[in-house]
């Protein structure tokens, strides 16, 4: 093989064949691999069947010409460099050769080893560059055709210069289902895309076909005034969004119905329950039989416990429905609130020898809050702490100021604690530790969910530090804007003493 590879000479003239073979021998020596063919069709067949490094083609091949020979080879995707051999050097022939796909052209009367070698070398380099460019173009075209989006490039005059198959599909669909359902041309479809974009960079185009196809169109401007357009079929995404919205509305409607049913049910239950409580108290006061009095005591205690559960469910249903009465302008003295709430859970704590202590950092005077809501927060946290503490345990209530002026309230017990996966579930309504009839701890499972909702009304954040067997610490952080301290007051403040 020569440096130029296998050389094909398509030349019908014997004399020119001899001259060219001699020149090629001067260039490459006896190793020159030259094949000479005098016939047009045989030359085309040889190009198809053999790996040719360079092809020299005479301008005249019988009744046909070399320009046609080169163009036919190029149309058949034969990419080897091809040099046209002419009898005269005319500008028109040079231009025609370039248009046909020739790498160069040589005048036979001027042929010499130096000129032919340079032409062969330049032709090979040019062919290699063109082949590399063709491979890159093919790779780019393949990549664009295998992307999920339609991609098109437009020049500064909004003329389509290139596009992939997905964008062509979009234009076909737009042409078949134009605005109003009429059939329009492909150019009009492109015009609609440009018009929908207007001066913006993004739009959506819906088709009136059976699938109600929706395309999202985006445009990026190029530095030379043109643009690149991306089109994505978002029909499935739109349908999913519609289904999600419908599901959300259905869930919200069911939630409202549940809250309404819960509120009505608890309200209806309280009326007969109040009668049971009243009659049990009457029996307690009037009965002279100890056994009857004991039965009345059990009925009374059970009724009060049931009333507490009903009141909790009613409060939560109102809170969930946004009907909880809330007035956050009250200035409440915190030490009085803590003392009141501890007294509410003291009987249950004393029955199990649980000690409750509290500590309030100096300088804290009060909090702008809704007193009823804050009282319920503390009682729920303390009730939970008592419920999940071991007999003879202790509970600590702490109030302290952070460096940013925020108030941190903490309720810590040293009871059973929680696993990490139980912490998130603890904030969900009606979730409890243990399930079924054998669960150890009572309650409705509304304590922490209600605390979280009431804390949110005060712009407070809630967190839980816990570990199995090491107890639980629930922390509430109220923003500094709600906190009243001694340093923030210019004169004695009138605060609410009673919880």
Compute the distance between CA of residue 256 and CA of residue 230 in angstroms, rounded to an integer.
Answer: 43
Distance of CA 64 to the CA centre of its chain: 64
Of the candidates 359, 340, 331, 322, the residue with the CA atom closest to the CA atom of residue 454: 322
Quick: pLDDT tens for 482-494: 888 877 664 444 4
- Is the pLDDT at 442 greater than 60? The verdict is no
Quick: pLDDT tens for 383-397: 889 988 999 999 999
- CATH 3.40.605.10 at 330-488, yes or no: no
Give the pLDDT score at 242: 86
Quick: pLDDT tens for 28-40: 887 778 899 999 9
Q: Are 465 and 475 in contact (CB under 8 A)?
A: yes
Mean pLDDT, the chain, whole residue set: 81
Give the pLDDT score at 319: 65
Eight-state DSSP code of residue 66: H
Q: Please return the burial class of 80, using the count of CB atoms within 10 Å of its CB with bins 0-12, 13-18 and 19+.
A: buried
Section 133-148 average pLDDT: 73
Coil/strand/helix, residue 274: helix
Domain map (residue ranges) of the chain: 7-142, 150-233, 246-320, 330-488
| Phi, psi (deg, nearest 5) at residue 205 | -120, 120
**85-94, 117-126, 178-187 — which one is most confidently predicted on average?**
117-126
Give the pLDDT score at 314: 66
Q: What is the percentage of the chain residues whose pLDDT exceeds 70?
A: 85
Compute the distance between CA of residue 4 and CA of residue 104 in angstroms, rounded to an integer.
Answer: 15
Give the pLDDT score at 436: 39
The residues pairing with 8 across neighbouring beta strands, listed in sequence order, are 35, 55
Range name among 10-24, 85-99, 125-139, 183-197 with the lowest pLDDT average: 125-139
Quick: pLDDT tens for 289-344: 888 888 888 888 788 767 777 766 666 666 666 555 556 666 667 888 888 889 88
Section 114-118 average pLDDT: 86
- Is the pLDDT at 445 greater than 60? The verdict is no
Give the pLDDT score at 186: 80
pLDDT band with cut points at 50, 70 and 90 for residue 286: confident
Quick: pLDDT tens for 8-35: 999 999 998 999 888 888 888 877 788 9
Domain 246-320 adopts which CATH fold? Answer: Helix Hairpins (1.10.287)
pLDDT band with cut points at 50, 70 and 90 for residue 63: confident
Domain 150-233 adopts which CATH fold? Answer: Beta-Lactamase (3.30.450)
CATH superfamily, domain at 7-142: Response regulator (3.40.50.2300)
- Is the pLDDT at 421 greater than 60? The verdict is yes
Give the pLDDT score at 278: 85
- Is the pLDDT at 477 greater than 90? The verdict is yes
Structure tokens at 387: 């419920």
Give the pLDDT score at 413: 92
């Amino acid at each position: 093989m020569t440096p130029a590879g296998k050389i094909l000479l398509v030349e019908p003239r014997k004399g020119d064949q001899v001259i060219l073979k001699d020149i090629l021998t001067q260039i490459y020596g006896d190793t020159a691999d030259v094949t000479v063919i005098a016939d047009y069709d045989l030359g085309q067949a040889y190009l198809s069947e053999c790996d040719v490094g360079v092809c020299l083609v005479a301008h005249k091949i019988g009744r046909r010409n070399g320009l046609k020979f080169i163009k036919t080879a190029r149309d058949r995707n034969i990419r080897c460099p091809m040099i046209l051999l002419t009898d005269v050097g005319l500008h028109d022939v040079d231009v025609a050769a370039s248009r046909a796909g020739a790498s160069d052209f040589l005048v036979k009367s001027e042929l010499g080893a130096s000129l032919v070698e340079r032409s062969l070398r330049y032709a090979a380099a040019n062919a290699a560059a063109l082949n590399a460019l063709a491979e890159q173009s093919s790779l780019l075209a393949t990549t664009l055709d295998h992307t999920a989006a339609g991609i098109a490039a437009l020049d500064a005059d909004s003329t389509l210069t290139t596009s992939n198959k997905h964008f062509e599909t979009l234009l076909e669909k737009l042409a078949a289902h134009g605005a109003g359902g009429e059939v329009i041309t492909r150019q009009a479809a492109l015009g609609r895309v440009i018009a929908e974009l207007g001066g913006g960079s993004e739009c959506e185009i819906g088709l009136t076909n059976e699938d109600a196809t929706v395309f999202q169109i985006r445009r990026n401007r190029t530095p030379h005034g043109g643009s690149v357009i991306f089109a994505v079929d978002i029909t499935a995404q739109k349908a999913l969004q519609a289904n999600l919205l419908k599901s959300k509305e259905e869930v919200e409607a069911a939630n409202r119905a549940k809250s309404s049913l819960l509120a009505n049910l608890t309200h209806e239950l309280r009326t007969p329950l109040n009668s049971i409580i009243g009659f049990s108290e009457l029996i307690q006061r009037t009965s002279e039989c100890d056994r009857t009095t004991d039965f009345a005591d059990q009925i009374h205690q059970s009724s009060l416990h049931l009333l507490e559960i009903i009141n909790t469910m009613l409060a939560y249903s109102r809170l969930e429905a946004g009907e909880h009465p809330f007035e956050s302008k009250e200035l409440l003295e915190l030490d009085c609130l803590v003392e009141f709430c501890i007294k509410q859970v003291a009987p249950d704590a004393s029955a199990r020898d649980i000690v409750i202590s509290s500590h309030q950092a100096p300088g804290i005077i009060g909090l702008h809050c809704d007193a009823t809501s804050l009282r319920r927060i503390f009682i729920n946290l303390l009730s939970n702490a008592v419920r999940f503490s071991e007999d003879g345990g202790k509970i600590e209530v702490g109030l302290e100021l952070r460096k940013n002026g925020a108030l941190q309230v903490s309720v810590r017990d040293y009871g059973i604690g929680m696993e990490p996966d139980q912490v998130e579930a603890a904030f969900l309504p009606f979730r409890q530790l243990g399930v079924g009839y054998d669960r150890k701890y009572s309650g409705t499972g509304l304590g922490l969910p209600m605390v979280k909702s009431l804390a949110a009304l005060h712009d407070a954040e809630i967190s839980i530090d816990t570990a199995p067997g090491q107890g639980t610490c629930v922390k509430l952080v109220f923003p500094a804007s709600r906190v009243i301290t001694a340093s923030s007051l210019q004169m004695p403040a009138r605060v609410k003493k009673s919880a």
